[in-house]
Amino acid sequence: MRDVIYADAPGLDPGDVRADVYIPDDADNAPVILMMHGGAWTFGNKLSALGMFQARYFNDQGFVFIAVNYRLSPAHPFPAQQQDTAAAIAYFHEHATEFGGDPNSIFLMGHSAGAHMAALTAIDPDYLDAFDLTPGVIRGVVAMDSAAYNMARTGSDGDIPEFYHSTFTSDDPDVWTAASPTLLVEETTDIPPFLLLYVNRAVAPSRAKELAEALNSAGHKAEARLVKNRDHKSLNDRLGAKGDKVAPMIADFFRDQLED
C-alpha cells in the first residue's frame, strides 16, 4: 500500500509523512518492522534510500515491512525527524491490524541517520510521550551503522562534522546532548532490546560499542556487532539479497524478542 499518510497537522506537507506498507500474503497479526532510511537527515526517501531486497525478504519471513518518509533538513531541522519517527510508530501501533499487523509486535529499524533516529526515539521517552505511548511499545531496535549516537563527540577528532550543522543548527551544547542517544540512557526508561550493527569504518564501531555499553550498564539489553565484508552503503543496499547474512541475523533478533 503506497503513500499511507501517518501524520496530520497544520502546515505539514503530506508528502513528508508518507509510508509504503509491504504486506505478506495472508498476513494476520504479523510482526511489524518500521524502517527509517538514511541520508544524513537531509536527503533520500522511502524508495530511493532503501535497498532493493529489504521489503521482499522481510515479507517472506512473515513481517509487515513499512518504509517511512520523514521531514528533511535544513528546511526542517532537529527534532522534526524525531517527531515524525514517533508519529509513525504511534500511527501504525493504532492501525496495525488494518495492514495485517500485530500492534503489540512493532520493531524499529534504521540505517545511518535513520539508525540515529531509531535509537533516539527508543531511548528518549519524550517523543512517544507526545502520543501517550512509551518506548516499551517497541519490541526491539536494529540500528545499522550510525556514527551519531554521541553528538558530544562524533568525529574521529572529537569535533562534530560540518554537515551535521544543517540539521542540528544550534551551538547550544544542550541541543547536542538532546540529540545523543548514548547520553540519554536511563535505568527507569522502558527501553527495548537493541542490536547495533556496524561496519569497519572510522568512528561508527566505537560509537556503537559505547551505546551498547551505556544500555547494558543501565540494565537494558544491547549488543554491538561487526558486520564483515560490507561497507556503510552496501550494508543497506544488499540487505536481504541472495546470500546476505545480515537480514537473517536481524529477523532472528526480532523473533527472539517475540519469545521473551
- Reported as a single tens digit per residue, the pLDDT across 71-114 is 999 999 999 999 999 999 999 999 999 999 999 999 999 999 99
Average pLDDT over residues 15-26: 96
User: What's the mean pLDDT when you consider all of the chain?
Assistant: 94
Burial class, 225, CB count within 10 angstroms (exposed 0-12 / middle 13-18 / buried 19+): middle
**Greater confidence, 27 or 11?**
27
The pLDDT of residue 234 is 97
122 pLDDT higher than 60: yes
Q: How many CB atoms lie within 10 A of CB 56?
A: 14
Q: Is the pLDDT of residue 172 over 80?
A: no
Please name which of 163, 141, 159, 142 lies closest in space to residue 150, comparing C-alpha atoms. 159
Nearest Cα residue to 160 out of 175, 145, 142, 144: 175
**Region of poorest pLDDT, from 87-91, 97-101, 162-166, 181-185:** 162-166
Share of the chain above pLDDT 90, in %: 87
When pLDDT is averaged across residues 121-145 and rounded to a whole number, the result is: 98
Nine-digit cell at 71? 521531514
Task: Please check the confidence at residue 156 and state whether its pLDDT lies above 50.
Answer: no
Domain 4-259 bears CATH identifier 3.40.50.1820: yes
pTM for the whole thing? 0.96
154: pLDDT strictly greater than 70 = no
Read off the pLDDT of each residue in 235-252 and give the average, rounded to a whole number.
97
Q: Does 130 score more than 50 pLDDT? A: yes
pLDDT-based confidence at residue 158 (cuts at 50, 70, 90): low
Going by C-beta distance under 8 Å and a sequence separation of 6 or more, which residues neighbour residue 195? 140, 141, 142, 143, 222, 223, 225, 249, 250, 253
Res. 117: pLDDT tops 50: yes
In the block, cell 548514548 appears at 182
